A and B are shown apart, each in its own frame.
Chain A
Amino acid sequence: MSTDTSPAIELRGASKTFRTPSGGLHTAVCGLDLTVRRGEFVAVVGPTGCGKSTTLTLVSGLEEPSEGEVLVAGEPVDGVGDKVGFVFQQDATFPWRTVLSNVMAGPRFRGVPKAEARQRAREWLARVGLAAFEDRYPHQLSGGQRKRVALAATFVNDPEILLMDEPFSALDVQTRALMSDELLELWEGTGASVVFVTHDLEESIALADKVVVMTAGPATVKQVFDIDLPRPRKVESVRLEPRFIEIYREIWESLGEEVRITRERGAAHVA
């Protein structure tokens, strides 16, 4: 199989079972089939706690599937590869490193000489608009600025595959829209394939080429929707378009049912 024609990411019947602290088994993902083409932006939506994040850890190589196969660029995933970038939900900047040093971390870990790493880091810092902040420590930045550092630190490694786990969920609404636009701009220059996990349907439609709706946990793919909104998009204006609202209604019919199931389960659990 040639690596050039194979899809960027392929999950074939992937399942992941965790052992819970009380000794039981918890199936987070079950029989998941998903294909992401090269350069495609795929958003994954589903009810909270359904196992969306687990899907990303399987693709990243941080966790191994209990069953099934995970392929990246046609090759089975074996440990953390060098093609993958991951933006986490929580802050994952190194607090003891300056902004510049944080962005340099990836290339330095991969053995790039210091001078070159510094130069590449400065380029990406300029692109996310933090060139003036390179000597600051993360605690001196706002939440949005820290997310920009995380984006620069991820993009500086030139990932072919970008995994994002609700990256903007901790930000306020305005910052979030701004960051979404910036993400689209940064991504359009790279040709990377993106899997963007979120529970925010609006965000997923505004960003993605394809929206994957997951079932209530254990997660599996319920339905895949193609988003035919033209690019380049601006997050704030695209959601006012009639086509956007049409798509939203269509997907919500599918997603809403899963959300309801999750909620009823939660209620049953409490009772």
Chain B
Amino acid sequence: MSPEVLSTPVVDTVRNPGRARSRAQAARRRKVVVNAARALLLVAVLGLWEALSRAAVIDPFNFSMPSKIWDQISSWVTHGTAQGSLGEQIWYTLHEALLGWAIGVVAGVVFGIALGRIAFLADVLGPYIKVLNSLPRIVLAPIFVIWFGLGPASKVASAVVLVFFPVFFNAFQGAREVDRNLVANARILGASDRKVTLQVVVPSATSWIFTSLHVSFGFALIGAIVGEYIGATKGIGLLVAASQGTFNAAGVYAAMVILAVVALLAEGLLTFAERRIFRWKPANSDR
């Protein structure tokens, strides 16, 4: 939730229309000021970077500058990259990340709910999952390149291992923390174990699962990018690696900017989906 929403005053329009109007005005004014300050901060940081770099206070070769980064992006957009058009690179990375994310999420949710519901499974598999989770899984990326080659499969695999665990733990916790009253009520009303799982546990756990979806999409992108960075034929990670190889700092930054935009768009889509799914929640809860 952004700060200006938090502090919007509750307007009592019925009793005091005059005061209500002035409050609404103040709220609008505040919003304008906040947005202006945000824009100013961005301009100041970029401007300072540009100025320092041009004046050679910081090394322009290593740190590049916003104008060069912009030139790099526009040249990629208009002339394409060394590996093909920019759209193709973005699509390639996104495709790997989405596929890895989907597989990781489905596996995480299924395992999480299953272990949350079946105590025997949780007791048997629990320690192993903890061990696997404690591994720094990003080091698996080179192994996946060896196993699955330079194609998308190795990137999908590294995205899956990064996505699986946070989703799994949240789904598991969500399944464990289901309101006992709701389960008892469903059983009294005649629900079988399977129906309790599908119609009570899964819906109760969705808010837990969605929390992890936000974080885990970022992880999926990381998995795909690192995989590409290590060895690939296409993708934004390869752009980073190629730019680094040619000492093109602006290229590395440009790839980062593109990634940030992609991640923000995905985040926006996810929030939109969440709003639709959680219509049953009180509007003034945590979001």
Contact = CB atoms under 8 A, between A and B. Distances in A.
A94 B191 contact: no
Interface residues of A, number: 26
Interface string B173-184: 000000101101
Given A88-B184, A92-B182, A94-B182, A105 B279 contact: no
Contacts of A269: none
Contacts of A138: 280
Contacts of A178: none
A82 B190 contact: yes
B200 interface: yes
B203 A96 contact: yes
Contact of B190 (A60, A91, A157): A157
A97 B280 contact: yes
A95 B178 CA distance: 12
Main SS at interface, chain B: helix
**Size band of the interface chain B makes with A:** 20 to 34
A105 B184 contact: no
Contact of B184 (A62, A95, A106, A109): A62
Main SS at interface, chain A: loop
Q: Considering residues B182, B192, B195, B280, which has the most beta carbons from chain A within 10 angstroms of its beta carbon? A: B280
A96 B187 CA distance: 17
B203 A105 contact: no
A157 B203 CA distance: 23
A90 interface: yes
A163 to B, nearest CB: 8
Contacts of B179: 92
A106 B282 contact: no
A94 B188 CA distance: 13
A110 interface: yes
A94 B181 contact: no
A70 interface: no
Interface in B181-211: 181-182, 184-192, 195, 199-200, 203-204, 206
A134 to B, nearest CB: 14
A60 B179 CA distance: 18
Given A95-B280, A109-B195, A137-B279, A80 B187 contact: yes
Nearest to B181: A92
Return the 4 tightest CB-CB contacts between A and B, nearest first.
A92-B185, A106-B189, A109-B190, A110-B190
27 contacts: A60-B188, A62-B184, A62-B187, A62-B188, A80-B187, A85-B188, A88-B181, A88-B184, A92-B182, A92-B185, A94-B186, A94-B200, A96-B203, A96-B204, A105-B189, A105-B191, A106-B190, A109-B189, A109-B191, A109-B192, A110-B190, A138-B280, A139-B280, A139-B281, A153-B189, A154-B189, A157-B189
Given A86-B184, A157-B190, 14 more contacts: A62-B188, A80-B187, A86-B185, A88-B185, A92-B182, A94-B182, A94-B186, A94-B199, A105-B199, A106-B189, A109-B192, A109-B195, A139-B281, A139-B282
